[in-house]
A = this chain, B = another copy of it.
Amino acid sequence: MLTIRRLSLSDARMLIAGARERAHEIGVPMCIAVTDESGQLIAFERMDGGKVTSTIIAQDKAFTAAGAKRTTESYWEASQPGKPAFGINSAIGGRLMVVAGGIPVVVDGDVVGAIGVSSGTPAQDSDCAQSGIDHFLASLRGPEAS
């Protein structure tokens, strides 16, 4: 039997809060998804004005980052023409996202879930996703709790 560590709902809310705060700062309404380590959705928020297409894309970014234990941005690099993972973007019915904005949440070396953000540029999406993770990891260390 294996023992797995996984984000709770309150953890997921913390991740979303961090991403949402950053989205407000840069003025881009985002879709923000948090999945567990198996890629299953825990929490999702579409900020008013977030894109409809991004409701799916944010989820798939988080699914990819959790399931493959790497950022979607790293796939972007690895799937360029001539690179080894070229063509992987259409895998799993197109759910495997290679556009930046999906980042695994790593605690003590274990992937415990992932966050996926979509509606801005890939750089903005990634920025907000990372802000969510920073906020969450800070909460694990600091006195604040959800």
Which residues of A pack against B, CB within 8 Å? 1-9, 11-12, 36, 38-48, 51-57, 60, 63-64, 66-69, 75-76, 79-82, 84-94, 96-100, 107, 112, 121-123
Contacts and interface: CB of A to CB of B under 8 A. Distances in A.
Contacts of A64: 53
Contact of A4 (B5, B44, B46, B51): B5
B84 A123 contact: yes
A59 to B, nearest CB: 8
Contacts of A38: 36, 38-40, 52
B86 A97 contact: no
Contact of A7 (B2, B52, B57, B93): B2
This chain: how many copies in the complex? 4
A47 B123 CA distance: 31
9 contacts: A1-B107, A3-B6, A4-B6, A43-B43, A52-B68, A53-B92, A56-B91, A79-B86, A93-B93
Given A4-B3, A55-B40, A80 B79 contact: no
Contacts of A55: 40-41
